Amino acid sequence: MKKTIILLSFLCLSFTGIAQNESNWRLVYHNDKDGNTIEGEIENLIKAVRNGKTIRIYWSSQRKNDKTKKVEHLTEAKFLTILSDTIVFAQIDPIIGQIPDYDAQMVRLNENLEWFLIAATNGKSDTMVRNTITGEIIGHSLIPFELKWFIKK
């Protein structure tokens, strides 16, 4: 009986910690792919950046010919920039290139490729792909992303 109570107490504390952890993030700003505000105030995001808050960004994409095929991404910003007191840019750590395989329901690594992103509240996000063996830049383009910006409470 004593072991059961201890186990139940541990489980309750664990689930409470998980629930509290999920509520440690708050959506502070949401922009569409053209940089228009969907939710929140850009001033609150800028204030959070200036105050050294940890920022996470979220974006998703879907196939043009099949909107049910969708991927979602979430990562912490590693380098933040405020331009002209009105636009926030967030650079993420480079990642190994990946390709969603919707039919197999998995994401595959793309060998020898590294992907870079600077996300932007004005919709002008910059992406680049680099070959990790040769160092050659094999893709570089502006991609309009709808983004959600979260701050750690």
Output the CA torsion sign for 39, 43, 48, 54: positive
Residue 131: per-residue pLDDT: 95
Residues of the chain with confidence (pLDDT) below 50: 1-20
Q: What is the pTM for the complete model shown?
A: 0.80
Residue 68: per-residue pLDDT: 84
Output the CA torsion sign for 97, 100, 104, 105: positive
Task: Tell me how long the chain is.
Answer: 153
